[in-house]
Amino acid sequence: MKRRKTIFSVLVYLLLSLGAVFYLLPLYWMVRSSLLPMAQIFRMPPIWIPNPPQFGNYSQALRILPFGRYLGNTLTILIPTMVGTLLTSSISAYAFARIEWPGRDIWFGLIITGMMLPYAVTLIPTFLGWKLLGAYGSYYPLIVPSWFGGGAFNIFMLRQFYMTIPHELDEAAYMDGAGHLRIYFFILLPLIKSALIVVGLFTFIRVWNDFLGPLVYLKTEKQFTLAIGLQQFVGQYTAQWHLLMAASTLVALPTVTIYLIGQRYFVEGIALTGLKG
């Protein structure tokens, strides 16, 4: 019986390690290809460890892909989106979790149901609306929506967090004459810090990786974000795999790094969103 258990657990490790190799391989292949000279990239059998690594590929990719400007553009969208999302989702979630008001549950239900609506349905009228306002070709369409609740998903998640905090805390503050804004800001917000980090991290990844939004709303190459800039780059340098892989690595590096740093919070956040069923 004991032996069978050992064999079983060896099998589990084996399967997991094999899976891990397959999951890491594409990323390894990307980095490897980004460090090979063009001539070696097609050599058979394939070279696994670049020797010497061609860091020059990166400087060449950076010369073609204006990384600095695209990064600046991405941050121009990212920072206000982050602030808007954190502020308005936490304040709205507070209203849904901690205040009793008529119509609350209906509105909450509507907002959550709205999450099921395919974005295909709202995409075109929203685009036409922004065009009508003359904001097509600006960053506003990509930023402003985050200042209106920051997404149903985040409101739902933060509400879950608020609900775990005992009501005595706000009642005591209320008796002392504190208003809702003060209770929200000074008492509850510090208590849901870890949830706010989760929202912040997810927002970072979402905006950094967003592809369709910038594709639809940005007109000129000058305004491009990293994601859309890379897409352009792929179209122009089709067969130059060493450069394409260097550029892909550069664009992927920040999100992977952010994830590895904030891993604990990611897992916490995903766990919460998945348990709603």
Q: Which residues contact 1 (CB under 8 A, 6 or more apart)?
A: none
Q: Which of 157, 71, 78, 74 is nearest to 112 (CA)?
A: 157
What character string, x for contact with another protein (CB under 8 A) and - otherwise, covers 191-220? --------------x--xx-xx--xx----
Q: Which of residues 258-277 bind another protein (CB under 8 A)?
A: 258-260, 263, 266-267, 270-271, 273-277
Q: Which of residues 147-176 bind another protein (CB under 8 A)?
A: 147-150, 152, 155
| Residue 48 engages another protein in binding (rule: CB under 8 A) | no
Q: Which of 204, 165, 171, 210 is nearest to 188 (CA)?
A: 165
Give me the least distance between CB of 273 and another protein, in Å please: 7
Give me the least distance between CB of 155 and another protein, in Å please: 6
| Residue 3 engages another protein in binding (rule: CB under 8 A) | no
| Residue 132 engages another protein in binding (rule: CB under 8 A) | no
Structure tokens at 29: 């292949």
Q: How many residues bind another protein (CB under 8 A)?
A: 98
C-alpha to C-alpha distances, 109 to 22, 114, 116, 155, 156, nearest whole angstrom: 41, 8, 11, 12, 10
Cα 1 → chain centroid? 46
Give 106 or 168: the residue with its C-beta nearer to another protein.
Answer: 106
Q: Rounded to 5 degrees, what angle do the CA atoms 196, 150, 67 make? A: 85
Residue from 57, 81, 89, 223 touching another protein (CB under 8 A): that is 89
Q: How far apart are CA 26 and CA 241, in angstroms?
A: 14
Q: Which of 97, 121, 120 is nearest to 108 (CA)?
A: 97
Residue from 9, 59, 194, 236 touching another protein (CB under 8 A): that is 9
Residue from 7, 37, 42, 191 touching another protein (CB under 8 A): that is 42
The window from 57-65, 111-119, 161-169, 190-198 that contacts another protein (CB under 8 A) reads 111-119
